[in-house]
Amino acid sequence: MYPEDRREDWYRGQGLWSGVSESDWGDWRWQLRNRITTLEELEERMELTREEREGCLFARNKLSMAITPYFFNLIDREDPDCPIRRQVIPSSGEMVRSPEEMLDPVGEEGSMGVDGLVHRYPDRCLFLVTNVCAAYCRYCTRSRLVSNAQGYDFHPNYENAIKYIEEHTEIRDVLLSGGDPLLLSDRKLDYLLGRLRAIKHVEFIRIGSRIPVFLPQRVTPELQEVFRRHGPVWMSIHVNHPSECTEELYGATERLSMAGVPLGNQSVLLKGINDDLKTMRSLMHRLLMMRVRPYYLYQGDLITGSRHFRTDVRKGLEIIEGLRGHSTGYAVPQFVVDAPGGGGKIPVNPEYVKEISDTEIVMRNYEGKIYRYPLVAGLGTNGKSVPDWVPEEVLV
């Protein structure tokens, strides 16, 4: 199932919770009840740096800390630069607010049709269904909302949001997000998906979730049945580093796929975590092995206290160029910047087009070689002049 030289990377097991029964370990509710949520619980299990301790104290007022036992076991407790550790353990960098940073960096608040429903694009909307996650990413673009550490006091009104979608017939695509929709009960998810499926002009239902990564035990036979009943429901998961690609995640994506859920992945480019070609190539290849199509690579949003995570946009372009041509096209995500203030996702690509004239487009490939492709006006026909880019052998 997995390459022999990577088997250790894929398998992690119960680690510090080796005394817990397999039935408890495999119960997603047990995992939630036993999350690490306080500084004291964290210090019982590992030695923190001064920056981490300060970050944990500050997290109570910015974005709560929560780490499932499963995901905690992926942390290298001896390495302060561990890419898993830095994603979920707060640091003092979160206390620093840079001038360019905002509480709502992508302008969701200004695009809400009703509370909890963002209608920015003409044919689709973002339906925020909860403010709770299984674990909290320290660079979260909705840190103003999730965990309620900042007193946002978010209470989604499902009926108001569904009524808005029913009344706006231009909406054909609904994305459920939050917080994490898969923390809702099977019954509530079944209800929401059923209501949306009953709206004739809604053609496309999606879910954004990091639950398969933080809490793969949540993908139960009962949840599979919910997705089968209302499918196809598309899902974007969120994996940032190859070390997150465990046997448990593989099992969760397999179960989702078998329930008819098409899977994509959205990664965030994070400084010191995945901002190098080798790491990103390994991640993209492992995702494909798990039936997950790399979808987006995001430049980090300008959320308050996130500067220590952000890279230069040119680093993202460099990574995309390093993937293109050296990996299958399925393994190359679209690099995007979610424009500050509500401009939406803007694709950012390496420059492959060198010139466009009235007769041809001049391009370079992944090796830097130059190629020319004729535009319609430059085609030679019926014995007329033939452009000089046409090889002589095709004229015989």
What is the reported pLDDT for 356?
92
Quick one: pLDDT band at residue 195, thresholds 50, 70, 90?
Answer: very high
User: Is 140 one of the catalytic residues?
Assistant: yes
Q: Which of 62, 85, 120, 210 is catalytic?
A: 120
Percent helix, strand, coil in the chain, to 5, is 40, 15, 45
Active site residue 137: yes
Q: Catalytic residue, from 70, 137, 190, 210: name it.
A: 137
Catalytic status, residue 124? yes
pLDDT at residue 22 is higher than 70 = yes
**Model confidence band, residue 154 (pLDDT cutoffs 50, 70, 90):** confident
Distance CA 302, CA 74 (A): 27
Mean pLDDT of 190-219: 98
pLDDT of 119 higher than 90:
yes
Look at the pTM and tell me if it is higher than 0.75.
yes
Asked if the model's pLDDT at residue 214 lies above 70, the reply is: yes
Q: Please report the pLDDT score of residue 147 as a whole number.
A: 87
Active site residue 338: yes
Catalytic residue, chosen from 86, 142, 210, 255, is: 142
Task: Please state the rounded mean pLDDT for residues 142-158.
Answer: 89
What pLDDT was estimated at residue 7? 39
Mean pLDDT of 364-373: 93
Catalytic residue among 133, 138, 164, 218: 133
Please confirm, yes or no, whether 315 is among the known catalytic residues: no
- Which among 229, 324, 345, 364 is annotated as catalytic? 345
Res 1 pLDDT > 80: no
Could you say which of 121, 152, 158, 295 is catalytic?
Answer: 121
Radius of gyration of the chain (CA): 23
Half-sphere exposure of 268 (CA within 13 A, CB side): 19
Whole-angstrom CA distances from 81 to 55, 59, 275 are 15, 19, 13
Identified catalytic residue from 140, 255, 275, 286 = 140
| Amino acid 282: pLDDT | 98
Higher local confidence (pLDDT), 297 or 15: 297
For residue 12, what pLDDT is reported? 57
The fraction of the chain above a pLDDT of 90, given in percent, is 86
Provide the pLDDT for residue 385. 53
Q: For 15, left (φ over 0), alpha (ψ -120 to 50), or beta?
A: left
Mean pLDDT along residues 123-132: 97
Q: Active-site residue among 70, 255, 301, 307?
A: 301
Strand pairing category for 233-237 and 360-364: unpaired
What is the structure's pLDDT at 262? 98
pLDDT at residue 226, rounded to an integer: 98
- 301 part of the active site: yes
Question: What confidence tier does 76 reach under pLDDT thresholds 50, 70, 90?
Answer: very high
Provide the pLDDT for residue 40. 97
Residue 6 banded pLDDT, cuts 50, 70, 90: very low
Residues of the chain with CATH 3.20.20.70: 109-347
**Two tokens, residue 366:** 């992944």
Whole-number percent of the chain with pLDDT over 70: 92
Q: Of the listed 124, 228, 293, 315, which one is catalytic?
A: 124
133 annotated active-site = yes
Enter the CATH code of domain 109-347: 3.20.20.70
Average pLDDT in the 133-142 region? 96
260-290 pLDDT, tens digit per residue, is 999 999 999 999 999 999 999 999 999 999 9
More confident residue, 381 or 274: 274
Write down the pLDDT at residue 387: 56
Rounded to whole angstroms, the Cα distance separating 290 from 277 reads 20
- Give the mean pLDDT of the chain: 92
- Whether 345 is catalytic is yes
At 155, is the pLDDT very low, low, confident or very high (cuts 50, 70, 90)?
Answer: confident
Q: What integer pLDDT is reported at residue 249 of this predicted model?
A: 98
| Total count of residues recorded for the chain | 396
How far is Cα 314 from Cα 244, in angstroms, rounded to an integer?
25
